[in-house]
Amino acid sequence: MSSHNPFDFFGAIYCLTTDERNEKYESALKEFESIGIADRIIKFNGTEIDKKYWGSNPKEQKISRALASASHLEIWKIAEKNELSNVLIFEDDVSFTDWNNAALTAAIHDLVKIDWELFYLGYNLFGDATHYTEIATHLIGLHTGTDIRSTHAYCLNRSAYKKIMGYNPFQSKMVDQWLPGQLKIHCLVPLMTVQNQTIKGRQKKEMFLDNFRKIREMNKTNR
């Protein structure tokens, strides 16, 4: 891995999108360009997956979320088939905040020393997530089953592939809820990715950052 570009670590980098979300994908490309990785991105168009499982333009939100989860599963299958050492997956609503290559490089340096399966670059932590372990300055660990939400920016290690191939997005929980219930969890500190969405009039970016600050303060208090 180059000391100057931590993205050399990743076996492949995908961005999940669909035909109907072209504006989102174009926005994501600008985000990737801002940190110098646009040329590394493999576009994964989930439209064909949508048609395979349901047909075009599903109306129900629950069905749409299941189809998005099915696209994540398809990327996992590609990673396993190609025997990738790991795979980094972004969703097309990703946005970067206070990006720091040196911090990501340091986190990866410590990550490779341990038995890891799932690594988040951005996340929301809830419930007992205050009990995380500080592994290093830029890396924390959480136990399997921790209530951690969002799959807009995460990496899977090769050791995780076989554990998750049985996932059924139409019978199990949505992928963002299901995945952390199966694997060993590690997170980048500070988080550097958020989702570019607005929920109930509030930018989701603010929700991610507020959650991160809250959990950090609670963890300090509980020590």
pLDDT digits (tens, 9 = 90+) for 24-63: 999 999 999 999 999 999 999 998 877 777 654 455 545 5
Provide the CA 45 distance to its chain's centre, in angstroms. Answer: 17
What would the pLDDT profile of 140-151 be if each residue is shown by its tens digit?
Answer: 999 999 988 889
1 falls in which pLDDT band (50, 70, 90)? very low
Where does residue 54 fall: left (phi above 0), alpha (psi -120 to 50 degrees), or beta otherwise? alpha
169: phi then psi, degrees, rounded to nearest 5? -65, -15
Contact 155, 88 (CB under 8 A): yes
Contact 199, 211 (CB under 8 A): no
Contact 81, 75 (CB under 8 A): no
Q: Which domains does the chain have, with CATH numbers?
A: 10-222 (3.90.550.10)
Across the range 107-111, mean pLDDT stands at: 98
DSSP character for 181?
G
Alpha carbons within 13 angstroms on the beta-carbon side of residue 206 total 6
Higher pLDDT pick, 131 / 28: 28
What is the per-residue DSSP string for 115-160?
---EEESS-EE-GGGGG-EEEETTEEEE-TT--EE--SEEEEEGGG
